[in-house]
Chain A
Amino acid sequence: MSLKPSPEETPGLRRRFVVSSLIVAGLFCVLALRLWYLQVLGVDHYRKLSERNRIRYVAIEAPRGAIFDRNGTLLVDNRPAFTVSALRQEIDGREQLFHNLARLLDIDEAQLEEHWRKGEGLPRYRPLPLLEDIGREAMEKVQENSVDLPGILVEVKPFRAYPFGETASHLFGYLGEVTEEELSQSEFSSYRSGEMVGKTALERLFEDRLRGIEGQKRIEVNVRGRELRQVTTRDPLPGQNLYLTIDAKLQLAAEEALGDRAGAVVALDVSSGEILAFASRPNFDPAWFARGISSDEWRELIENPSHPMTNKILRGQYPPGSTFKMVVALAALESGSATPATRVQCDGSINLGSYEYRCWKKGGHGSVDLNTAIKESCDVWFYRVGLETGIDRIASAAHRLGLGQPTGFPFGGERSGMIPSRAWKKQRFGTSWYDGETVISSIGQGFVLATPLQLAVMTAALANGGTVWRPQIVEKIVNLDGNTDWVLQPEKLGETAWNSSALNAVRKGMAAVVNEVGGTAWRSRMETIRYAGKTGTAQVVRRKDDNEEAPDDEEIPYQHRDHALFVSFAPVEKPQIAVAVVVEHGGHGSSAAAPVAKAIYEAYFAEKGNGSAPPRHDASGG
């Protein structure tokens, strides 16, 4: 057993005790200093880091603004859609979970896996969408079985809803997820990946106004990212509402009248350029895009020979055919190369050099004046008068009526049509103009092309005495609080200076087309309203010269059949509305296109009440 330290050892031990005590105290002081450094000097810094740890900002999608027609009928809205999402941090056995979920909803597990992979880039605390827009029944199934589905939750998000289905889809356009490419542009700097954005038409044009301002939820999360509580919430602000110039009843009438046929219908208010109907068929279903279109569906749309994704009103360029004859007539009257009384003998064709240009009527119309030439659409009268007037004067008149240039409609991709002239041909082909080209241009064939919208604008100008209005689609934009933020101002594209006698002569001919026996649209006349119009039949393929008789439509392959056109306005006396109709490969303007216009007028005047429309004068005529 060791003894008590010897006396000579004691001072040494005491010194060691003092030294070691000092070392101990010193090191504790170092710890204390470090604590002071962290907790007093660093407190702000570390509290910020601590907050960043636990506070997450979650965006709340704002409902997009709604779209109404001019009478306040709801056209596009939002509906609550149920989305099944996964809270990844709470999922342990994914395979088993997906198996359960797939069996419950009778779907394919691979589909869930695919969405899982797609969403893995999302922040952990954000729910990963697995199934978008499941029905209420499926939603209830998921909620009832939530005990067996840990980490699965049902979210409610606003989805675009279309009460009228496919109607006017070319007007609204569609939504799609913002692309990676877009996200890298400054225009989309405020967008988050996965957000829906307007891709075409109104949805795109008014993206900024329709989008609204997203809300924000500050949530406190734990280390696994589980939401514990909401700290603060800023509610989203819905987007602004659009009120269109469209009249839903006319729109429906137009689309119904076109039916399964491909084509376009535009109805304009002749005194302002407001678009009352805007139909391009076939449509696509915008709801497919709202919920995310599948590749099969997309292929189906793209491969459809009737091009449902093409807005034919703006992008369809058709030879106007006989609907161009008013332009030729006005140019002739203006230049004095013809008067309304000028008579031309139609024997069924004219010869120019070695070429023969035939009238549509094989036997000829006999001696015709301007009125008859329009009414019965005599080609020979216009061949002769057109030759007399010259292509450049015709082109000038056409330009003043809005043809040959875009109307400035704000959707992207509007085509400008084509009005040929000598200078144009020289520049384009380096060759001079031939008289034969004037001949066929005079009946709206050859180089001449127009969009349905241009034809409507032209017809409205004829109806209102010569004012070319810019076609407009939005009547007003209304804020959430009901205040109007923007309102339509009619805008003149041009004012033509034809004297009223020339215009009246042309309009008289157009009235005769519908309302007089022998007029090409006589069969589409109305009992209560007198309207004026002009049929057109645009050749897609030129017929062989030796072809004695045009074959029946049924015998021609669809894509070779003529386009049917009809431009018109109503009522004759005090015009209010102009309508242009193009039925692709529809055959004759009289039989295929005119009834579509008639259907619109019926809807239009039924709504207005017959009282405002003047009675027919010659209801029993001929």
Chain B
Amino acid sequence: MFDRRLVTHFDWTYLLLILLIAGIGIANLFSATSSWTTAVPPVYLKQFYWLGLGLLIIAVICLFDYRHLEYFSFPLYGGNLLLLVLVLAVGRTSMGATRWISLAGLNVQPSEIMKIVIIVTLARYFSDKAHLRGFSLRELIVPGLLLGIPALLIMKQPDLGTALLVLCIGGTMALYAGVQRSAFFVLCLTGLAAAVGGWFLLHDYQRQRILTFLNPERDPLGAGYHIIQSKIAVGSGGFSGLGFMKGTQSQLSFLPERHTDFAFSVFAEEWGLTGCLLLLALYCLIVLWGLNIALRSNDRFGMYLALGVSAMLFWHIVVNLGMVIGLLPVVGVPLPLFSYGGTSMVTTMIGVGLLMNVSMRRFMF
């Protein structure tokens, strides 16, 4: 039984924004990887396929009422935790970190799934428990554990970027649900103490990244190389950019990881401040649009869901951009819809699907 309202209430504008950004991203990938003659199929085409899959995901998600998710949230959470533990036990190691696990022939990254699952889980929890006074410290213990356990497991892989993002997403949701002022300050202080203490728990390469972020010149050919080259690319873009496919930093490969984490640098070099501001506006719009969906959602679960997804997009965008323009240390966080990668695309599109699901069903009971 197909409900016509699925079409009429569908948030076409939001989808258009998403497609616009993804389109620019694919064009940018085309430029960034034009010198790679060996990749078959070419990277930009693969990204196009992933986008197609992403749209399919949106469609499938929209078919089902998001409210059903409420019942599955805790089993999903439990299952995901199990996967995270399994990753640590039997996961596939590459580049010093263990992030992948083989599941029915598919390579999946449980930490990436957790970004969505934590949204669903906390949405379920906060929609049940939130009240006007806001959470006290004691009341935050349960959501704190819900958030902290997976974050710790992810940090253990180690994947600092994802762990921080999960914490950011969860933290944003908690703040939105309401936290008593006293609890907020205590948490801030604890966080500060944890940051200082955590310094000694960090892996050496993670410490390097932070030190190098503070002063990239201390290791211009090593850890500082990414930041320096990225800033050169962005800066030399100037006001109007060097032109499509004309950025020397990217075309001559001085820019590392230019198709993944540093894709924005390629764009900034070739399109300049003009292009960057336009892209920034689009990203800002999808975040605000998501918040708007949250505000107008029909129920608390939907609100928290929309809010969580918006937070996820927002933190990805801010952390990635902050990183490539030298405001934040290099943590491996992709730019949604822009960086190449199936995992990122699938996660983003699941989030987008949930958002649209919430958006279209605020009129339906």
Contact = CB atoms under 8 A, between A and B. Distances in A.
Are these two chains actual partners, yes or no?
Answer: yes
Interface of A: 1-5, 8-9, 12-14, 16-17, 20-21, 24-25, 27-28, 30-32, 34-36, 38-40, 42-43, 45-47, 49-50, 53-54, 220-224, 228
Nearest to B288: A21
Contacts of B291: 17, 20-21, 24
Interface string B306-339: 0000000010001001100111000000000000
B170 to A, nearest CB: 15
Q: By CB atoms of chain A within 10 A, which of B178, B248, B301 has the most?
A: B248
B284 A25 contact: yes
Q: By CB atoms of chain A within 10 A, which of B128, B252, B314 has the most?
A: B252
A219 to B, nearest CB: 12
A53 B294 contact: no
A17 to B, nearest CB: 5
Given A1-B299, A42-B235, A35 B268 contact: yes
A2 B280 contact: no
B132 interface: yes
Given A2-B301, A39-B268, A31 B318 contact: yes
28 contacts: A2-B70, A2-B299, A2-B300, A9-B132, A12-B132, A12-B178, A13-B295, A21-B288, A25-B284, A27-B318, A31-B322, A32-B280, A35-B273, A38-B234, A39-B234, A39-B235, A39-B237, A39-B272, A40-B273, A43-B238, A46-B234, A47-B235, A47-B236, A49-B236, A53-B229, A222-B252, A222-B253, A228-B252
Q: By CB atoms of chain B within 10 A, which of A28, A30, A43, A220 has the most?
A: A28
Contacts, number: 129
Contacts of B238: 39-40, 43, 47
Given A13-B295, A35-B325, A46 B236 contact: yes
A31 B325 contact: yes
B235 A38 contact: yes
B253 A224 contact: yes
B70 A1 contact: yes
A54 B254 contact: yes
A594 to B, nearest CB: 73
A27 B320 CA distance: 13
Given A24-B314, A25-B288, A228-B252, A17 B294 contact: yes
Contacts of A50: 232-233, 236, 248-249, 254
Contacts of B100: none
Nearest to B287: A24
Given A1-B70, A16-B176, A220-B252, A28 B280 contact: yes
B22 interface: no
Q: By CB atoms of chain A within 10 A, which of B35, B235, B254, B273 has the most?
A: B235
Q: Which 3 pairs, one residue from A and one from B, show the smallest C-beta to C-beta distance?
A: A46-B235, A43-B238, A2-B127
A613 B126 CA distance: 124
A184 to B, nearest CB: 27
Q: By CB atoms of chain B within 10 A, which of A8, A43, A50 has the most?
A: A50
B311 to A, nearest CB: 9
B19 to A, nearest CB: 21
A466 to B, nearest CB: 74
Contacts of A13: 295, 303
B50 interface: no
Interface string B269-296: 0001100110010011001100110110
A508 B76 CA distance: 126
Contacts of A223: 252-254
Give the dominant DSSP class at A's interface: helix
A20 B176 contact: yes
A430 B301 CA distance: 118
A79 B298 CA distance: 88
Contacts of A20: 176, 291
Nearest to A46: B235
A13 to B, nearest CB: 7
B235 to A, nearest CB: 3
B67 interface: yes
Contacts of A2: 70, 127-128, 299-301
Contacts of A24: 284, 287-288, 291, 314
A228 to B, nearest CB: 7
Contacts of B295: 13-14, 17
B115 interface: no
A1 B325 CA distance: 44
B322 to A, nearest CB: 7
Given A2-B128, A39-B239, A53-B229, 12 more contacts: A2-B299, A4-B298, A8-B132, A24-B291, A27-B318, A31-B318, A35-B268, A35-B325, A38-B231, A47-B236, A49-B232, A53-B252
B24 to A, nearest CB: 16
B290 to A, nearest CB: 10
Nearest to B240: A39
Interface string B70-94: 1000000000000000000000000
Contacts of B298: 4
A126 B339 CA distance: 35
Contacts of A9: 132
Nearest to B128: A2
Contact of B252 (A28, A46, A54): A54
Contacts of A8: 132
Contacts of B294: 17
Nearest to B70: A1
B303 A5 contact: yes
A54 B252 CA distance: 8
A191 B98 CA distance: 53
Contacts of A42: 235
A339 to B, nearest CB: 90
A27 B178 CA distance: 21
B176 A38 contact: no
B330 to A, nearest CB: 16
Contacts of A47: 235-236, 238
A32 B277 contact: yes
A277 B273 CA distance: 75
Contacts of B35: 222
A40 B239 contact: yes
Contacts of B283: 28
Contact of B248 (A21, A45, A54): A54
Nearest to A25: B284
Contacts of B284: 24-25, 28
Interface string B16-43: 0000000000000000000100000000
B300 A31 contact: no
Contact of A46 (B232, B301, B327): B232
A21 B290 CA distance: 10
Interface string B225-264: 0000101111111110000000011001110000000000
